[in-house]
Chain A
Amino acid sequence: MATTVQPQTGAKPAASLSNEEILRYSRHLIMPEVGMDGQLKLKNAKVLLIGTGGLGAPLGLYLAAAGVGKLGLVDFDVVDSTNLQRQVTFGTTDVGKPKSEAARARLANLNPDIQIQSFETQLTSANALELFKDFDIIVDGTDNFPTRYLVNDACILLSKPNVYGSIFRFEGQATVFGMPDGPCYRCLYPEPPPPGLVPSCAEGGVLGVLPGIVGSIQAMETIKLILGRGDNLVGRLLLFDALGMKFRELKLRKNPNCPMCGTHRTINKLIDYYQFCGVRGEEAPGPTVQVPEITPRELKARLDSGDDLFILDVREPHEYQICNLKGHLLPLGELTRRVHELDSSREIVAHCRSGKRSAEAVDFLRKAGFRKILNLKGGILAWSDEVDPSVPKY
């Protein structure tokens, strides 16, 4: 059941390929499933990538290489060195540059025959419809719930396909939303998780290849939609487990009562998605509990003067291996069970990476009767900045 996406009307569609293009795309052209007709469909297609990060990297590279005639790149972020582990569009010399522009330059080098437009802006309810209207297919490579719902709703309002991919640690999901008879993101998840129930950041990180695989699946689905070939993921949620190396799929049904794509639509315009998602998406820091603190400089001075302080490190063992302040390691998650290891008569300074997990630990221990306990303000990151730059930051 192949579905073709009709290109947006506007400029006159290209009807032929140059000799250089024929040579460049020859491995497509000699496949009957693509051929000259398919390559012209690619050339006349307009695809907008929301996000040029982990998922956006393989998406941009493969869609540009395949000869998608117009690519839009939306990202407001700047390349930093922690991106390079997985965002393979960028090189070391791109650190500090806007992602949308760095990606545009890389893709233009890959394929000078296509038109690439970068939008260095945050996608918002105010600009989404305007940005989307000139494109045939929207590909969601974002990383937070407010933007996911915004992309979904804008696609439904404009009747555009939304090629969806998402990752978490070792698992990925992909599907195609927004096709006429298919479900939308709200059919799958009517509401986002409330901020307090988003998975803990102590479980952060991702294996760099994972967004490469999921983004490549999105690129394949995008190309199939353009060509009108094969069975696309409409109505199916593809689950990928990288550790078990297993693919599974689940049926996705269109919810007839969906407020966005159901028979009685109740959402007729874009809303405030940050409010809808409870202000924070997955990334923003949650509220930090108020506990007594000590600054890195104060701690250094007290240690130098020989004060008897017990340093409690509440991070995970694999973080301790990256760097440590020679503290006693007791991960936050094990604190309840192992609290007897601590001597409440001693003065304790708790720390973690940034000060948030250790604030929770201090709060818990104070409630458990510990009186002489302080939180290291800003954690090991602040210690590195203010006391000892030889301690690496991560």
Chain B
Amino acid sequence: MPVKVMIPSPLRPYAGKRDSAEFNARTVGEALGHLTTEFGDLRKHLFTEDGKLRSFVNVYVNDEDIRYLAKENTPTKDGDTISIIPSIAGGVPAME
């Protein structure tokens, strides 16, 4: 059951510059697991060392925040869109 995971700009450098990826997954946690297996560099940006979602990264299934559903156990169905929404401060840093 493919679900689409939307990867936001700030995290694309760690995801092969992709803006989305599709996985077969029954829950949000499973989809994010596939995502961070395929793109290992993403893991530390999404999860703490003990495997919990970081508090400055919000995850939505369609337009609902999973914190108000069943968190990572939130079930997904065919055609759902999972969005990762990190906090962005704005501003335009120069390059280093």
Identify the interface centre among B64, B85, B91: most chain A CB within 10 Å of its CB: B91
Q: A201-B94, A202-B96 are in contact. Are A249 and B63 (CB under 8 A)?
A: yes
Task: Give Cα A145 to B91, complex, Å.
Answer: 10
CB atoms of A237 and B44 under 8 A apart: no
**Partner among A191, A253, A285 whose Cβ is within 8 Å of the Cβ of B65:** A253
Give the total number of A-B pairs whose CB atoms are below 8 A apart: 127
Report the minimal beta-carbon distance from A305 to chain B, rounded to whole angstroms: 30
CB atoms of A250 and B95 under 8 A apart: no
CB atoms of A251 and B89 under 8 A apart: no
CB atoms of B9 and A251 under 8 A apart: no
Report the minimal beta-carbon distance from B42 to chain A, rounded to whole angstroms: 11
| A364 contacts the other chain (CB 8 A) | no
A284-314 contacts to B, CB under 8 A, are 285
What chain B residues lie within 8 Å of A282 (beta carbons)?
Answer: 89-91, 93
| A354 contacts the other chain (CB 8 A) | yes
Report the minimal beta-carbon distance from A337 to chain B, rounded to whole angstroms: 12
**Partner among A141, A167, A255 whose Cβ is within 8 Å of the Cβ of B88:** A167
Task: Give Cα A394 to B83, complex, Å.
Answer: 34
CB atoms of B92 and A250 under 8 A apart: no
What chain B residues lie within 8 Å of A86 (beta carbons)?
Answer: 92
By beta carbon, the residue of chain B nearest A143 is B91
Q: A165-B90, A204-B95, A357-B96 are in contact. Are A197 and B58 (CB under 8 A)?
A: no
**Partner among A165, A193, A206, A285 whose Cβ is within 8 Å of the Cβ of B86:** A193
> A156-193, CB under 8 A of B: which get 1 and which 0?
00000000011111110100000000000000111111
Tally of contact residues, A, Cβ under 8 A: 58
| B45 contacts the other chain (CB 8 A) | yes
By beta carbon, the residue of chain A nearest B60 is A250
CB atoms of A250 and B9 under 8 A apart: no
Task: Give Cα A237 to B19, complex, Å.
Answer: 19
**Partner among B13, B64, B83 whose Cβ is within 8 Å of the Cβ of A203:** B13
By beta carbon, the residue of chain A nearest B10 is A199
Task: Give Cα A145 to B86, complex, Å.
Answer: 12
B9-59 contacts to A, CB under 8 A, are 9-11, 13, 19, 44-45, 54-56, 58
Report the minimal beta-carbon distance from A87 to chain B, rounded to whole angstroms: 10
Q: A143-B90, A201-B94, A253-B68 are in contact. Are A168 and B10 (CB under 8 A)?
A: yes
What chain B residues lie within 8 Å of A228 (beta carbons)?
Answer: none
| B2 contacts the other chain (CB 8 A) | no
Task: Give Cα A287 to B67, complex, Å.
Answer: 34
What chain A residues lie within 8 Å of B89 (beta carbons)?
Answer: 142-145, 148, 166, 192, 281-282
What chain B residues lie within 8 Å of A283 (beta carbons)?
Answer: 91, 93
**Partner among A203, A249, A251 whose Cβ is within 8 Å of the Cβ of B10:** A203
What chain B residues lie within 8 Å of A225 (beta carbons)?
Answer: none
Task: Give Cα A248 to B20, complex, Å.
Answer: 15
| A41 contacts the other chain (CB 8 A) | no
| B75 contacts the other chain (CB 8 A) | no
Task: Give Cα A82 to B94, complex, Å.
Answer: 10
CB atoms of B96 and A145 under 8 A apart: no
Report the minimal beta-carbon distance from B21 to chain A, rounded to whole angstroms: 15
Task: Give Cα A211 to B10, complex, Å.
Answer: 17
Q: A203-B10, A250-B63 are in contact. Are A189 and B56 (CB under 8 A)?
A: yes
Q: A55-B90, A249-B63 are in contact. Are A319 and B9 (CB under 8 A)?
A: no
| A96 contacts the other chain (CB 8 A) | no
**Partner among A192, A244, A352 whose Cβ is within 8 Å of the Cβ of B56:** A192
5 new A-B contacts, CB < 8 A, other than A168-B10, A191-B56, are A168-B90, A192-B56, A197-B45, A250-B64, A354-B96
8 example contacts (A-B, Cβ-Cβ < 8 A) are as follows A168-B10, A189-B87, A201-B94, A203-B9, A251-B63, A253-B68, A285-B96, A353-B95
Residues of B at under 8 Å CB distance from A? Answer: 8-11, 13, 19, 44-45, 54-56, 58, 60, 63-65, 67-68, 83, 85-96
What are the 6 closest A-B residue pairs judged by CB atoms, nearest first? A143-B91, A199-B10, A166-B90, A356-B96, A168-B88, A282-B89
